[in-house]
């Protein structure tokens, strides 16, 4: 006989500016399906098609079951942007029979529920943007997370934006040649940089790029860094230093601790081992007692799974470890 836990489903979601992940679980914590779709986090309401993206994603994540969305008893969603009210309303429309909670990625609730399982007391999240959160002596600390216009230091958007700036300066012969121009060759299609009309065409194309597209250039910049391009090396070194600075300033200078573990989450840390090593080396110089902890098997979507289990009252240590290690 199927238990009551197994007849109900839990939905966990995590969404940033570049992508959204949805995870469907049984009430016991057993994973059923996981899908990726378009990003739904934005700086204000109405920028992205939040509701239609959710409807399509929920339908897709339920495909492996014969259930409809009325069988989803609880939903927790971790959001990377400030359009929280918009997302809450969209989820209520999509899941009218479900208990729903939307948390902000940067508020630290999800992260601080997870980091103890990795022997850490803080976390730095670096994807399209960057933010860090930690706790010490019962007080929560924050750093970064000011958005793409004024911050995002160390994130994919800043890396892509810096590379675009280098590309434009190279077009004007304001800096030496760089292989990074190959990344943006499509922006030059059928244009003449030596005419005003050609320059305006390029300008239009650049300003048409959205945050997700600009952030998507980061892995390509990293590949040019590995090949030794000076401009790419400058950008990647700066990004790794920015992440180390963000993390080093997060907690009080005098903690009395010999070791402080900082969990690293987000796609930027998947660029490669050289990037991770740069981050770690910078951090060690700034705060010798701090150590970055890299776990490729854990992400914010799994953190959201833990949070929805807590909502449903099923979050014992055994179940949480099952989610982490699955």
Residue 29 has pLDDT above 60, yes or no: yes
* Per-residue model confidence (pLDDT) at position 1: 30
Q: Where are the alpha helices (DSSP H) in the chain?
A: 4-7, 50-61, 84-94, 109-114, 156-171, 196-207, 211-215, 218-226, 230-248, 273-286, 300-312, 317-325
Phi first, then psi, for residue 33 (nearest 5°) are: -155, 160
Q: Are 50 and 13 in contact (CB under 8 A)?
A: no
Same domain? For 102 and 116 the reply is no
* Per-residue model confidence (pLDDT) at position 166: 97
Q: Give the rounded percent of residues in the chain with a pLDDT score beyond 90.
A: 68
Half-sphere exposure of 166 (CA within 13 A, CB side): 25
Phi first, then psi, for residue 285 (nearest 5°) are: -70, -35
Q: Are 279 and 313 in contact (CB under 8 A)?
A: no
Q: Where are the alpha helices (DSSP H) in 12-123?
A: 50-61, 84-94, 109-114
Same domain? For 127 and 184 the reply is no
Which has more confidence, 219 or 150? 219
What is the average per-residue pLDDT within 246-259?
92
pLDDT band per the 50, 70, 90 thresholds, residue 5 = very low
* Per-residue model confidence (pLDDT) at position 3: 42
* CA–CA separation, 219 and 166 (whole Å): 16
* Per-residue model confidence (pLDDT) at position 83: 87
pLDDT digits (tens, 9 = 90+) for 186-204: 999 999 999 999 999 999 9
* Per-residue model confidence (pLDDT) at position 136: 92
* CA–CA separation, 129 and 297 (whole Å): 21
Same domain? For 9 and 63 the reply is yes
Residue 4 has pLDDT above 80, yes or no: no
CA distances from 158 to 140, 282, 315 (A): 26, 19, 37
* Per-residue model confidence (pLDDT) at position 43: 65
pLDDT digits (tens, 9 = 90+) for 101-152: 999 988 899 999 999 999 999 999 999 899 999 999 999 999 998 888 888 8
Q: What is the three-class DSSP state of 1? A: coil
Domain enclosing residue 16, as ranges: 4-107+299-325
Residue 211's nearest CA partner among 45, 32, 47, 2 is 47
Residue 260 has pLDDT above 50, yes or no: yes
Q: What is the CATH number of the domain that holds 241?
A: 3.30.420.40
What is the average per-residue pLDDT within 48-53?
86
Consecutive H or E run containing 78: strand 72-79
Same domain? For 240 and 122 the reply is yes
Number of compact structural domains in the chain: 3
* Per-residue model confidence (pLDDT) at position 44: 64
Same domain? For 175 and 120 the reply is no
Q: Which of 185, 205, 229 is the last residue of a domain?
A: 229
Same domain? For 103 and 115 the reply is no
Same domain? For 32 and 54 the reply is yes
DSSP single-letter state for residue 41: -
């Amino acid at each position: 006989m199927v238990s009551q836990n197994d007849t109900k489903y839990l939905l966990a979601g995590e969404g940033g500016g570049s992508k959204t992940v949805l995870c469907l679980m049984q009430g016991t914590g057993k994973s059923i399906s996981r899908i990726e779709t378009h990003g739904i986090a934005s700086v204000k309401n109405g920028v992205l098609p939040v509701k239609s993206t959710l409807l399509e994603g929920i339908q897709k994540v339920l495909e492996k079951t014969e259930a409809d969305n009325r069988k989803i008893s609880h939903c927790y969603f971790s959001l990377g942007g400030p359009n929280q009210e918009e997302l809450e309303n969209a989820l209520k429309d999509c899941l009218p029979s479900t208990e729903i909670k939307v948390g902000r990625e940067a508020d630290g609730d999800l992260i601080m529920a997870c980091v103890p399982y990795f022997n850490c007391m803080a976390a730095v999240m670096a994807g399209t943007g960057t933010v860090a959160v930690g706790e010490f002596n019962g007080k929560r600390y924050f750093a970064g997370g000011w958005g793409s216009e004024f911050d995002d230091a160390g994130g994919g958007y800043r890396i892509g934006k810096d590379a675009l700036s280098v590309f434009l300066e190279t077009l004007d012969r304001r800096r030496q040649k760089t292989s990074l121009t190959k990344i943006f060759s499509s922006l030059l299609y059928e244009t003449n940089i030596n005419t005003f009309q050609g320059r305006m065409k390029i300008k239009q194309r650049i300003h048409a790029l959205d945050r997700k597209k600009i952030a998507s250039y980061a892995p390509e910049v990293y590949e040019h860094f590995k090949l030794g391009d000076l401009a790419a090396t400058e950008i990647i070194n700066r990004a790794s230093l920015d992440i180390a600075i963000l993390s080093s300033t997060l907690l009080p200078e005098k903690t009395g601790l010999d070791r402080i573990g900082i969990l690293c989450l987000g796609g930027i840390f998947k660029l490669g081992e050289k990037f991770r090593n740069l981050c770690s080396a910078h951090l060690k110089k700034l705060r010798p007692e701090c150590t970055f902890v890299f776990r490729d098997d854990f992400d914010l979507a799994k953190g959201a799974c833990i949070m929805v289990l807590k909502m449903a009252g099923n979050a014992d240590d055994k179940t949480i470890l099952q989610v982490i290690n699955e």
